[in-house]
Structure formats: structure tokens, C-alpha cells
Structure 1
Amino acid sequence: MSITSSISEAHCAGLRDLLVNEKNTPVLLQLARSITKNVCTIEDAEEALGYVTAHLEDIHKVLHKRHITRDLLFKYLHTRLPGTSTDFTKADLVMRVIQYWDKQITTESVAKQTSVTTIERIEETEQDYPINLMARKFGEWFFEKFNANDLNPSDLWSDSVLQLSVIADDGTSDVECSTAEEVIASLFSAKDQFGFYFNPNLTHTGVQGRIDVYGHVVVLCCGTLHTGDRSVGVFECAFGLLRDPNADNNWKPKKFKWSLRSELTPPELHTLNSSESLQTALALPTPNDTLD
């Protein structure tokens, strides 16, 4: 049975803490039966709590009921706040219990907000790591050239390798190749075959850098696929980068692992955390120092 309560969720939780236990549940059942005039059989503690909070609209009225004695309230406070004085009337104890519950709400709220703020600060710091700054710069450079059909073999290592999966409603198509010319030809072929425009998510949620077990830089990037003015799917890419001493020591991609996936209702902004193919790579280390 679903019973609507007019007492706040926090105070309902406090009543549960006070009454739903081996020692005080009999008191709760008696209270519920009294409130409902014994018109129904109540044997379950949660059901009894539901009746109490639905039929008594004020937490003070609940705690002032004769079934909830001064002794019960004092023992509860003593377990939660050791050292509670015995020199209190029942009215004083009721106020102390409610104040304790309200303080718990404030403490939990502050702790939650502090946790959220800490996470946000960590994320703000991480997005400025050198490896992530480089990853975003690389992602912007690569997809600008790729969408403009301006990508050349000299932009890649000559022995570059590609693993490409195109996942559509009618099945999956896999392509593998191992030279810069073949990698570019395969990527352009997939783009032109479907008329795709690649819209990368160039924020920290969509492009990040990692270091693999061999100490190589890995750039992870995701975004949405478009044909004309329609969004038709998502893409997820992992690039393995190495510095090229013959090209001013710039970073150049050598390994490509791509997944293109059609979707009926693609997200407005695809993120790494929601990616299907990049979760293992996301678990790799993110160094915070300058890249060698």
C-alpha cells in the first residue's frame, strides 16, 4: 500500500531511526493502531510508519504521543549524543530530537556539496594537464583537416595502422590496414560513403589524453556524426601518438582505433564517459607533468 506522508522525508528518516528497530518497533505498531482506531491489521514496521506519518501532519504531534515516552526519547538521544543531561522534560527532549535530525540534514548537505565541489575542482585541474591540453589541440587539428579532406600521408607515420568498425542497423563492417596511405583512404572512404561530417566534442568531456603501458600518448576523442543537417550517430576514436624527430619533433598519429555507430536518437553531445568502446582506455593513467 502506498501512503502519502505530509511529514518531510528527513523527519520520516529520523522516525525510522528512532522507531524501526527491535526494541522500539512494538511502540511504533501500537502507535499506528491507535492512530487508525484499529480498523486494519498492522504488523509490518514500514507500513506502520507510513500510517503514522500520513495521519499526523506534524512531527511534533508524533513525538508528543503518549506511546513515545520521555524514557524512549532520552535513551535515543543518549545513544546518538552521549552525555545528554537527564534534566529534561518530554517537551525539551522532543525539541532536542528534532534539532538533532535537522542538524544531520545540514551536515549531510554540506558534506555532499563539499564532495561535489571537490570533484569539480579535480576536473578543472585535470583539464589543464599538459597531456589534455595537447589532446584537445590535436583533436581540433585532426578533425578540421579530416572534414575538409585535407589530411595527407605526411600528417601520419608512414607505418600507421587502422582498426575501423562501422556499426549500422544491418550489421558491422570492420576494416584493418597498415600504411599511412591506406589508413587515409579507408577513413575517407567511410566518410564519403555515408556522407558523414564529424563533429568532435572538443571539451574535456569529449577529448582527453592518456599514457599506455608502453609509455605512448593516447588521445581519446568522441563526437557526433552528421549527414546534412541531421545527427545520425556517434564516433569514438583512440589515436596512438609519437613524436617525429623529422617533423620538428611534433606529435603524429601512428595507431588509429575507430568506432562509428549509427543511432536513431543520437545525444546532442557525446561524452567519453558514455562511450562504449573507450572505457578500458579511459582507465589508463593521466600524467599531470610535462610531456617528454
Structure 2
Amino acid sequence: MNKFANWERLGLINFFNSEAAADTAIPVAKIVSKNMLQTPQTNSEAIDVILLHSSSTESILNRKSIRKGNLFRYLHSKKQSVTSEFTKQLLIEKILQYWKQLYYLSDDDDDGTVNTKNELPQDVQVPASNHNSIATNDHHPEHFPINQMARTFATWFYENLNSNRLQANDFFCDCKCTVRFLENQQILMEEEHLSAQNVLEFCQSLLSKYNLYLNLNISHSGTQGRIDCHGLVLVLTCGSLHKVDQFVGTFEAIFGLSRDPFSQNNWKINQLNLRLHNFNTQQSQNTSLSIEQPTLITSNAIVPLLSLSMPKGDDEIG
């Protein structure tokens, strides 16, 4: 049995590839291998060595090469707050808690393997079904491959959006993005952006112009997948809007994904419908808002889509 659960492996990969800890993977790999191997040349090679020769996630994060500052900067980059009297152990516990919430897929998916299928942009991949798990849990929609795919894509997209790492080639060249700013269900402003570059520039403006952080509700209640009548994969998401230390509203986003036959058949975004609720671009604060995470069933725009097809097998997706 593998020593690491899926959420631990995905979390460690994310950590070592982050700016906060990018220079720690190779030193840690040298330590766990006791310098008995040729020095890894890339983070990916180093991570493979670390996972193979380490006993637990805690033992990895406790290595001297990973300093308290690395852990703190990583949590800060993910907008995760910590107490002022933090220790290295408390930071590690906070990171593990964050990873489990972000990457946890199912109660039965504890064999530690990360099978991959249906490649997404920027090397994001969709976990293939664990056949033993699906056989006993296919009555739980949360475990369906379409919903696992949705969570994987949504995690990738919002992390790259919030850190300004999206690229034009993550979108189809004729991608369409519709954006509505709403206050008490009334549309204050509506925008439409056409082409990959224009959609990318709008996504970047959420950080530069509006200074927003989109906090995804990664649970099954906030992120799901569907197939429309044309075979398009829809990813339905929602969450809360934040500025620094400030809650400013909620959002819903509907993504349309399809494979690009001219880009190694990778998944790309061909449409995006975004609704920003109770976010007034002229105001910096709205203290009357509730900070409870929104769910898909509270969205008038998303509820009709929840009745669309939700295939139970990988072969039915794309």
C-alpha cells in the first residue's frame, strides 16, 4: 500500500512547485536519499525521490531544508490565516488541513495512488476512477468521474487565477466570457469578452483592477460537473469574493470545456459565464454581507444545469 493519500501527494506537489518553496525540493531529495543518488535536475525528479523515500508527509515538511518561512509564505500565498504565535508544527498542521479540504476526493480513495487521465491545461490532470471505489460507491454522485474532473479543473483554475498564472493558451482562441455584476439580484453592469487574449486580460483585471480573490467552495455542494446536450463538459462552481482581510460578496462561474485536437487533445476553456454578487466596484466595504460559503443550489443560473447528464464512467466524458 502506498504511504501517501491522493490529497497528500497533490498537496506536496503543489507545495514544492510554489514560489514559496521552489528551492527546497532538490535539497530535501538529497537528504532523504542520503546523497546516494545522482542529484535531481528538476523539481519533478526531486519530488519523485522525496515521495519514494519518505515515510510520511509530516516527516517531509519537518526537514531542516524546509524552514518555517517557507511554510508561512506558502500559507500566505494561499490566503490561509495563522495565529501570531505560530510554530513550525502549527504551520504544518495548517497546511495539511488546507490540503485535505482542497484535494480530498472520497472517503474510500486512500490507496495513495494518483492515476491520471484526460489531460487539462498546464499539466492539470483528471484522476481516473478507482474501480474498486466506484463499484461500491457509484450511487454517490460526489464520486462520479465527471465530478472528480470538475474539482480537479476548478482547483487548478482558481489557484492559477488568484496567482495570476493563467495563460492565453488555456483558452480556445474564440473563447467567450460573459460577466455580470449584481447587487441584490439586480444587474449593475454586464461585460462580454471575446477571444482568448481578451478573456485572459479580464481574468487578470480581477486581480489588478478589482483586487479580488475568488475563494472556491471545493466541496460537492459548491463544485460539480455536467455534460450538456452537445457533449460539452460543464464545470459548475461557486464561492466567496474577498479583498485583503475583507469579504465583499459571492460568485458563480460556469465553464465550458472541450478537447483541442490541435493541442495534443488537451482540455481547454471555450466559454465562461461569471456572476459576481453584491460586489460593488465603487465600494471597498460591505459589512452587511454574510460570509457563509454559497452553494450551487442557491444560484438561479446554475440550478437548471444540475438536471443535465452526470455520467458514471470515464469513457462517457469527452
TM-score (norm 2): 0.51
Q: Does residue 160 of structure 2 align to residue 145 of structure 1?
A: yes
Counterpart of 2:153 in structure 1: which amino acid?
A: F
Question: Within 1, Cα distance between the matches of 2:218 and 2:161?
Answer: 15
Question: Within 2, Cα distance between the matches of 1:181 and 1:281?
Answer: 28
Counterpart of 1:268 in structure 2: which amino acid?
A: E
SS across alignment from 1:188: helix
Question: Within 2, Cα distance between the matches of 1:191 and 1:275?
Answer: 24
Question: Within 2, Cα distance between the matches of 1:247 and 1:206?
Answer: 30
Q: Does residue 213 of structure 2 align to residue 197 of structure 1?
A: yes
SS across alignment from 1:141: helix
Which of 179, 183, 186 aligns to 2:199? It is 183
Match of 2:142 in 1: 127
Match of 1:253 in 2: 269
SS across alignment from 1:175: strand
SS across alignment from 2:182: strand
Q: Does residue 294 of structure 2 align to residue 270 of structure 1?
A: yes
**CA distance 1:187–1:210, shift in 2 (3 Å):** same
Match of 2:91 in 1: none
Q: How many residues are paired up?
A: 172
Query: Larger Cα Rg: Structure 1 or Structure 2?
Result: 1
SS across alignment from 2:172: coil
TM-superposed deviation, 1:124 = 6.9
Question: Within 1, Cα distance between the matches of 2:143 and 2:187?
Answer: 40
Match of 1:286 in 2: 310
Question: Within 2, Cα distance between the matches of 1:227 and 1:276?
Answer: 25
1:171-250 to 2 correspondences below 5 Å: 172-250=188-266
TM-superposed deviation, 1:277 = 2.0
Match of 2:180 in 1: 165
Question: Within 2, Cα distance between the matches of 1:151 and 1:129?
Answer: 27
TM-score (norm 1): 0.55
SS across alignment from 1:213: coil
SS across alignment from 1:158: strand
Match of 2:108 in 1: none
Aligned residues: percent identity? 35
Question: Within 2, Cα distance between the matches of 1:213 and 1:183?
Answer: 25
Match of 1:74 in 2: none
TM-superposed deviation, 1:123 = 9.2
Counterpart of 2:200 in structure 1: which amino acid?
A: I
Checking the alignment, whether the CA contact within 8 Å between 1:234 and 1:266 is kept in structure 2 is: no
Return structure 1 stretches of 4+ with deviation > 6 angstroms.
121-124
Q: Which ranges of structure 1 fall in alignment gaps of 5 or more residues?
A: 1-120
Checking the alignment, whether the CA contact within 8 Å between 1:224 and 1:266 is kept in structure 2 is: no
Match of 2:64 in 1: none
Question: Within 2, Cα distance between the matches of 1:174 and 1:122?
Answer: 42
SS across alignment from 1:159: strand
Checking the alignment, whether the CA contact within 8 Å between 1:200 and 1:224 is kept in structure 2 is: yes
Moved more, 187-196 or 267-276: 187-196
RMSD (Å) for aligned C-alpha atoms: 2.2
The Cα offsets for residues 65-96 of structure 1, whole Å up to 9 and x where unpaired, read as xxxxxxxxxxxxxxxxxxxxxxxxxxxxxxxx
Counterpart of 1:281 in structure 2: which amino acid?
A: L
Counterpart of 2:290 in structure 1: which amino acid?
A: P
Match of 1:86 in 2: none
1:96-135 to 2 correspondences below 5 Å: 125-135=140-150
TM-superposed deviation, 1:286 = 1.1
Counterpart of 2:222 in structure 1: which amino acid?
A: G
TM-superposed deviation, 1:143 = 0.5
Higher helix proportion (structure 1 or 2): 1
TM-superposed deviation, 1:171 = 5.6
